[in-house]
Amino acid sequence: MSRVQVDRERCVGSGVCESLAPEVFEIDDDGVLQVHREEPAADELDGVQDAVQSCPARALALAE
Amino acid sequence: MSVNTPVDPAQFDIEAIDLSDRDFWAEPPAVRHAVFDKLRAERPFAFFDEPTMEGMEPGPGYWAVTRLADLDAISSQPAVFCSGQGAVSIQDIPADLSEFYGSMISMDDPRHARIRRIVAKTFTPRMLEQVIDSVVGIVDDVLAEARAKAEAGDGSLDVVADIAAPIPLRIICDMMGVPEQDRLLVLNASNTILSGGDPELTDEADPLTALLEAGMAMAELMGRLAAERIENPTDDLTTALVNSEVEGEKLTHQEIASFFILLLVAGNETTRTAIAQGLLALSENPEQRAAWMADPSMDKSAVEEIVRYVSPVTWMRRTATQDGEVNGHSFKEGDKFLLFYNAANRDPEAFENPHALDLGRSPNNHVGFGGHGPHFCLGAHLARRELAVTFRRLFEICPDLEITGEPARLRSSFVNGLKRLPARLTGQR
């Protein structure tokens, strides 16, 4: 099972992940990233992988 | 010779290239691109003396970074290459002044991230979904006004003044809650702040005073709006700024003012440049324009390509916090690096046929919104939306728009702007 990891020191809330996998990622009112499902469903994995690669702050990772 | 006739980089003497020479930035785009091609290929970390500035001691100089891989390596190591010593000026200007005009652009984490989070939510795709209708409304209004104005006269219009400037100005002023009667002030002050010393937009003899006065005018406007929002909060960004707390403390008046200036200036100049230069690029590539016009599914890739091709912001600065090495280049603590996005976005190692406009380009990992790192453009999602709506509506409302003459280019190293772009509506749909 793949698990989403967020480096909170690096995240600046750019919302790029939210645009690619909105069902998994959301920037909240305080500009902080909320991960709705730390273990994304199989059909969400493509979007999450895209988000990990596209994160401008390189704050995301997917651990096995 | 057309300004777009390719220029052979071999004709330049690398020792004679000087990116600090203001006249270089008045050269036609093809000449500038050829010079950057030469630097990128032969001297990817080229050292230049700093441009002279009245009343200031010349600094130690800077490395010009022109390869995408180098730019991204620097951008993605913010602890080694910091922004806090100034990201938007080559010279070291006093820290308070640098922060005033750069706000969080010229800050490092953790403070940068704390300030950025105040507005982060507003610029997320989810929130922008809610303002898309108003973006479409503004674009349609501006285009209808431009059309009416052209048709009332001889059909001619200025792409910059009539289309490219008012669209982002109205959108960002709506988001910030700047009333109608103050928007001309915002436009003028924003032009002065990003004039880059262009003599038409600022007092050439005393650009620093003109810059300070423009900043003061914006700070005064912010003071007025802030007082109103404390009394009567709304859901605009200005209200968010005056009510926000960072580390348990409210932002100071000056912090709010500089944040306000950043959002307004950045929200205006960049998108304006992408629209105006994008329309120019489309008129120079009619087959590309026709393909995009006929196929709305190209909106996404076309917008990315316009941002790559135009590179509205030419550079940002970083400063080394320690001695080290990046991609084989040694540097010392205090060394300055200018990240040339325009050059990285035409790097043949990263883009096939980099000088061609290819609206279907894929992949297109450009750095038009900045490289990897914490300073990635806050307004990127908004800009993409504004651009997609603007071009699509333009194709529908003004399909007969025709560029009729040479643009007046901003003589600035920092923004790839146009001051005027003559056009007409032919009436033939």
Query: Where do the structural domains in chain B lie, given as residue ranges?
Result: 9-425
Phi, psi of B46 (to 5 degrees): -95, 140
On the question of pLDDT at B262 being above 60, the answer is yes
Q: What is the pLDDT of residue B3?
A: 54
Q: What is the CATH number of domain A3-63?
A: 3.30.70.20
Rounded Cα gap, residues B135 and B139, in angstroms: 6
Q: Are the C-beta atoms of B102 and B382 separated by less than 8 Å?
A: no
The answer for residues whose C-beta is within 8 angstroms of residue B201's C-beta and 6 or more apart is B191, B192, B195, B410, B419
Count other C-beta atoms under 10 Å from residue B130's C-beta.
8
Give the 3-state secondary structure of residue B158.
strand
Q: Identify the sign of the CA torsion B119, B123, B128, B134.
A: positive
Residue pLDDT, tens place only, B110-166: 989 989 998 998 999 988 988 899 999 999 999 999 999 999 999 999 999 999 999
Cα-based distances in Å from B263 to B186, B198, B222, B260, B268: 11, 22, 12, 5, 8
Of B110, B123, B372, the CB nearest to A15: B123
Q: What is the pLDDT of residue B180?
A: 95
Distance from CA of A23 to the nearest CA of B (A): 11
Asked whether the beta carbons of residue A15 and residue B117 sit closer than 8 angstroms, the reply is no
Q: Are the C-beta atoms of B376 and B313 separated by less than 8 Å?
A: no
Asked whether the beta carbons of residue B120 and residue A13 sit closer than 8 angstroms, the reply is yes
**SS3 track for B361-401:** CCCCCCCCCCCCCCCCCCCHHHHHHHHHHHHHHHHHHCCCE
On the question of pLDDT at B357 being above 70, the answer is yes
Residue pLDDT, tens place only, B205-255: 777 788 889 999 999 999 999 999 999 999 999 999 998 888 788 888 888
Q: Which of B27-36, B256-265, B348-357, B378-387 has the lowest mean pLDDT?
A: B256-265
* Closest chain A residue by Cα to residue B77: A57
Chain B positions touching A27 (Cβ under 8 A) are 120-121, 124, 126
Asked whether the beta carbons of residue B372 and residue A12 sit closer than 8 angstroms, the reply is no
Give the 3-state secondary structure of residue B295.
coil
Q: Which is more confident, B204 or B115?
A: B115
On the question of pLDDT at B2 being above 70, the answer is no
Q: What is the pLDDT of residue B275?
A: 98
Q: What is the pLDDT of residue B208?
A: 78
Q: What is the pLDDT of residue B68?
A: 98
Residue pLDDT, tens place only, B312-353: 999 999 999 999 999 999 999 999 999 999 999 999 999 999
- Protein fold of B9-425: Cytochrome p450 (1.10.630)
The answer for residues whose C-beta is within 8 angstroms of residue B279's C-beta and 6 or more apart is B159, B163, B164, B394, B401, B403, B421, B423
Residues of chain A with a CB closer than 8 angstroms to some CB in chain B = 9-16, 18-19, 22, 26-32, 56-58
pLDDT confidence band for B394 (50 / 70 / 90) = very high
Chain B positions touching A10 (Cβ under 8 A) are 374
